[in-house]
Amino acid sequence: MISSFNTTDSYVKDNPSPQENAASGKRKDAPWLQRYGEAAAALASGILIAAAWSIEQFSHPWAVALYLLAFVVGGYVKTKEGLQTLFQERDLDVNLLMVFAAIGAASIGYWTEGAVLIFIFSLSGALESYTMARSHRDIAALMDLKPETAVLYRDGEETTVAIEQLEVGDIVLVKPGERIPADGTVTEGASAVNQASITGESIPVDKSSGDEVFAGTLNGPGALFVQVSQTSESTLFAKIIRLVQEAQSEMPASQRFIERFERIYARSIVLVTLLLILLPPFLLQWSWNDTFYKAMVFLVVASPCALVASIMPAMLSAISNGARKGLLFKGGAHLEHLAQTKVIAFDKTGTLTSGRPQVTDLIACQGYGETEMLRLAASIESLSEHPLAKAIVQTAKERGIETDRPTELTSLTGWGVQAELHGEVWKIGKPTLMEESMMTQDIRTAVHRLEEQGKTVVLMANTRGIAGVIALQDSIRTQAKAAIAELRKKGIKVAMLTGDQQRTARAIADEAGIDLVYAELLPEDKVNRVKELKQTYGNVAMVGDGVNDAPALATATVGIAMGAAGSDAALETADLVLMNDDIEKIAAAITLGQRTRRIVKQNIVFAISVIALLICANFLEGLALPLGVVGHEGSTILVILNGLRLLR
C-alpha cells in the first residue's frame, strides 16, 4: 500500500530529470494511462468480480476465469510494486503480503474473497495515487504565482523581464543573493556562487570576468553582469519537480518509523503465517483446510495496510490544502514541526514591514548638494537588492536624477554595501559600519534624532569621511498587527530579530505589538538568537525575507520565507514559503499542522486497534475470511479518507 509513497516511487522515476525538463522546456501532462490507469484497473476488477459472482451458480469454470482476470487486472500494479521492493531492496512490503493472501484464499476455493481483497486493495492504491497527483498539481499551480524573472541590462537601462524572454547575447544583471537566471559568461563583477543545485557541492565557487555560470545557481555577495549563452526555458518546472521530490523524500519522522516498522512487521507476519500453516495440524490435529483458512485470515487482518496508509495521504492532502492557500510546504515533516511551534521570530525589514521604505530625510555633507549626494548614493546602491537600496534608487529616479553604475560591488550582508564609483571607494550602510573617527558630534545627533522617530538611518562615506545621511521610513504591513495578535492568541511567543538599530527596532515593535526585541543583529547573531530561543522554548519558527535571514531560517525548526518579497536565498533555505507574503496565513499554517497531527494520530490509533481486534477475533472466535477482508481493507480505506479530509 505504501509503495506509491516510497522514494523509489514510479511517478518520480517516470518524470524527466530537472535538467532534461529544462532542456525540453515543455510541461508535459501525464498520459491518460498514467493518470487514470490505476483507478480504471481497480474499477475494472470490481466489475469483473460482480460479473463472476452473478454467473457463479450457472458456470463455475467461467466464474473462475473471470475471477482470475479480476486478479490480474486489479493486482498488476501492486504486484509490480511488491516485486520491485523484493528484488531491488530485497525486502517484503504489504503489497506482496496482500497478493500472497489473495492467492492463498483463491487456492482453497475462496475466489470471491481473494478477488475482493485485490479489488479493494487496488482501490485504496488508486486513492493514494490520487492524493499524490493532486498535491503535485496544487503545488505546480502555486509555483505559477511566482514567475521567474531576470534583470536585463541594455543601453544602461535595467528592465525586469520573464526569463523566457532572454536571448543569447543579452546581458543580465545578477544582484547579490539572487538566482542566476540563465547559463552564461561573467562579463563584469566578482562574486562567489553556490552551485549546489547542479553540483551538489555547497561551498561557493569564486566567479569573475570570463567565468562560466549556470542557470539556477545562487549568487553570493557580489553583483555580476552575465552574458547569456543559452536561453534557459522554464526552469520553473524543474524547480517544482525538485520541490515535490524534496517533499516526498523528506518524510516526517513518524512515516519513516512506520516504513521501517512495516518491513520488519511484514517479515514477521510471513513467518507467523508459515508457522500457522505448518504447526497446528501436528500440534492440535486441525485439518489442513481449517488451518490454512485461519492462516490466510491472519495474513489478511494482520497486514499493516491501514497503518502504513495513516500518514502520507493525510500529509499530502494537507500540503495540497496549504498550496491552495498560498502556503508552499516543502514536506510533511515541516507540518509536524509547525504544529508544535512555541516561538515565532520575525525579521523586521521586508517581513513585518512592507519592505518598501520611503526616503524621508537627506543631509548632505562634504559640500555635496542634495542632488549630487543622492546621485552618488543611488549609483552605489543600484546593484544592491536590499529594500533600503531599492528605496534610495527609486527616490533618485523620481527626482529625475541620472545614476551611474559602480564597479566591484560587494554586499556587506547585514551592514550595507561597498563599491567603487569613478575610481573612489564608497561605503554605504548602517551607522556602526562607519569608522568611529568619522562620526562627528553633528552626525551623531542627527542619527539619534532620526532613529527615535522610528526611521532607519543609512550613512554614506568615502575615504575622507561621511558624505551624507539618509533616513528612511518603512511602514508596517497592514496585516502584521492582526497576524501577531492571532499568533499570541494561540499561545505562541512572538519575537523580532533585526539588523536595524535598537531605537528604530523598538519603535516598530511597539507598533506591531511585539515585546521580545533583538536589534543590531548580524546574520550570525540572528542564528545565535534562534538557537537560544530553541533552547529556552522548544520549536522555533523563523520568518524572513533577506539573504541575511537565510542562515537563521536554516537554523530554526521551521524556516518560513516571504515568497514574493523574499530573496532566492531565503526561498531556497525555507521549509515553508508564503507565496503572497501573507504573514496573516502563518496562524492558518499552524492550525493546518495541528489538524494534520490530530488526524494522523486518529488514524494510527484506529489502524492499530482494528488490527488487534481482528487478530484476536480470528484466534478466539474464528473469523470468516470475507469479514476479515472487509474489516481490514475497510479500515485502510477509512484511514485514507480520513486523511483526505485535510484537503478541505
Q: Which listed range, 96-104, 108-116, 315-323, 427-435, lies at the site for ligand ADP (CB under 6 A)?
A: 427-435
Q: Quick check: 207 binds ligand ADP (CB under 6 A)?
A: no
Q: Which does 456 bind (CB under 5 to 8 A by kind): ligand ADP, Mg ion, none?
A: ligand ADP
Binds Mg ion (CB under 5 A): choice among 75, 280, 350, 468: 350
Distance separating alpha carbons of residues 442 and 470, to the nearest angstrom: 14
Binding partner at 124 among Mg ion, ligand ADP, none, C-beta below 5 to 8 Å by kind: none
Annotate each residue in 537-556 with x if it binds ligand ADP (CB under 6 A) or - if it does not, as one string.
Answer: ---------x-x--------
Which of Mg ion, ligand ADP, none sits in contact with 386, Cβ below 5 to 8 A by type?
ligand ADP
Is 347 catalytic? The answer is: yes
**Minimum Å distance from CB 373 to ligand ADP?**
14
Residue 90: left (phi > 0), alpha (psi -120 to 50), or beta? left
C-alpha cell at 168: 543569447
Q: What angle do CA 529, 532, 538 make, to 5 degrees?
A: 120
386 binds ligand ADP (CB under 6 A): yes
Q: Confirm if 345 and 541 have CB atoms less than 8 A apart.
A: yes
Task: Supply the Cα-derived Rg of the chain in whole angstroms.
Answer: 31
Strand blocks (E) in 385-444: 407-412, 416-421, 424-429
Helix 32-55 × helix 111-143 angle, to 10°: 160
349 counts as binding ligand ADP under rule CB under 6 A = yes
Residue 621 exposed, middle or buried by CB count within 10 Å (0-12, 13-18, 19+): exposed
Residue 415 binds ligand ADP, judged by CB under 6 A: yes
How many CB atoms are located within 10 Å of the residue 405 CB? 18
Residue with cell 543601453: 155
Is 411 a binding residue for Mg ion by CB under 5 A? The answer is no
52/484 with CB nearer Mg ion: 484
Contacts from 112-115 at CB under 8 Å and sequence distance 24+?
A: 112/49, 112/52, 112/53, 112/56, 112/67, 112/626, 113/625, 113/626, 113/629, 114/67, 114/71, 115/45, 115/48, 115/49, 115/52, 115/67, 115/70, 115/71, 115/74
Query: What residue number has its CB nearest to Mg ion?
Result: 546
Q: Establish if 349 lies at the interface with Mg ion (CB under 5 A).
A: yes
> Considering CB distances under 5 to 8 angstroms, the limit depending on partner class, which of ligand ADP, Mg ion, none binds residue 388?
ligand ADP
List the catalytic residue out of 170, 347, 500, 582.
347
| Grid coordinates given for 375 | 546621485
458 is in the binding site of which of Mg ion, ligand ADP, none (Cβ under 5 to 8 A by kind)?
ligand ADP
CA–centroid distance for 573 within its chain: 9
By the rule CB under 6 A, 364 interacts with ligand ADP = no
| Choice between 338 and 508, CB closer to ligand ADP | 508
Among 347, 568, 572, 584, binds ligand ADP (CB under 6 A): 347
Q: Would you give the binding string for Mg ion spanning residues 546-575, x where CB under 5 A is met?
A: x-----------------------------
Could you say which residues in the range 133-192 bind Mg ion, by CB under 5 A?
none
Question: Which range of residues in 100-108, 299-307, 408-416, 585-593 is near ligand ADP by CB under 6 A?
Answer: 408-416
CB of 349 to Mg ion, least distance (A): 4
Total number of residues that touch Mg ion (CB under 5 A): 5
3-state DSSP helix/strand/coil % of the chain, to nearest 5: 55, 20, 25
CA torsion, points 42, 46, 49, 51, in degrees to nearest 10? -130
Which of the ranges 16-24, 52-60, 107-115, 383-391 carries the binding residues for ligand ADP, by CB under 6 A?
383-391
Which of Mg ion, ligand ADP, none does residue 498 bind to, with CB < 5 to 8 Å depending on kind? ligand ADP
Q: Name residue 573's amino acid.
A: T
The closest alpha carbon to 118, from 95, 102, 97, 96, belongs to 102
Q: 172 - beta bridge partners? A: 152, 226
Strand, helix or coil for residue 518:
strand
**Annotated active-site positions, please?**
347
Q: Where on the chain is the footprint of Mg ion (CB under 5 A)?
A: 347, 349-350, 545-546
Q: Where on the chain is the footprint of ligand ADP (CB under 6 A)?
A: 347-350, 381, 384, 386, 388-389, 414-417, 428-430, 456, 458, 498-500, 546, 548
